[in-house]
Amino acid sequence: MTDPSLLIAITLVFVAAGMVKGALGLGLPTIGMGLLGLFVSPATAAGLLLLPSFLTNAWQALDGRDTAMLLRRLSPMLAAIFVSTLAFSPLLARGDAGIAAFWLGVALAAYGISGLINWHPTFPPKAEPWTGIVIGTATGLVTGATGVFVLPAVPYLTGIGMQRDRLVQAMGMSFTVSTLALGLGLFLNGAVTASAGWGSVAAILPALLGMKLGAMLRARISATTFRRLFFLLLMGLGLHAILRGLG
């Protein structure tokens, strides 16, 4: 990973992904996987994203006054995410790059479509203990196979009736657990190379710069417009990855 043009492209990807994170509060690993997938394999992309994703999401997870309550409420889902991601991570770490790209594309396109149609399923509070386990297991499968950990966790979290600040913190918790489990799974399966590790360290500053720019952009552009562009971009990246996987 010493080609100057590739290094510049990867740096710009992290700035762009950080901008989305700064503007919307989510999307750094999702956009990162989609854009990095244009240049490197999904497993390499996931390795590069580990540290920027962990640091930004851990900050989001701890930035609130309801940490203990949310951990208790979401513990079945978070535990299922960790175990399931770890179990399915060999699919990404040791699987065929073309197949991984195809399923990455499916996940990105599905998330883009769900966002564009504003899909928000609702779940009764009494069902949370078992629905959390089901959703967590499904999220771990998607994460382990593609490196994308927004589905179905994000639609689920928006559907259990949380106030906005709690929702943002809950998403940070979900993403942090996913990142830790995926990082451990990739490491145990030999997919985290030294170059990817150092690349992940180097990606922290561009991601933080992007987040700062995104926060500035948030004050200047309609949130609705930005979200629509975000989901359209995910659809486009998803379709591209699907075609690349089929090719």
| Of 101, 93, 193, 174, residue with least CA distance to 136 | 174
Look at the alpha carbons of 89, 127, 169, 167 in this order and tell me if their dihedral is positive or negative: positive
Give the pLDDT score at 144: 95
For residue 1, pLDDT over 70 is answered with no
Higher pLDDT, 110 or 247: 110
Q: Three-state SS string across 181-247, please?
A: HHHHHHHHCCCCCHHHHHHHHHCHHHHHHHHHHHHHHHCCCCHHHHHHHHHHHHHHHHHHHHHHHHC
What's the CA gap between 123 and 112, in Å, rounded? 22
Give the pLDDT score at 207: 94
Give the pLDDT score at 3: 80
Phi, psi of 139, deg, nearest 5: -65, -40
Per-residue confidence band for 2, with pLDDT thresholds at 50, 70 and 90: low
| Of 222, 22, 231, 31, residue with least CA distance to 113 | 231
What's the CA gap between 18 and 21, in Å, rounded? 5
CA of residue 7 relative to chain centroid, distance: 21
3-class secondary structure, 77: helix
Residues listed for the chain: 247
How large a percentage of the chain has pLDDT more than 90?
58
pLDDT tens digits for range 203-223: 999 999 998 998 888 778 887
Give the pLDDT score at 168: 86
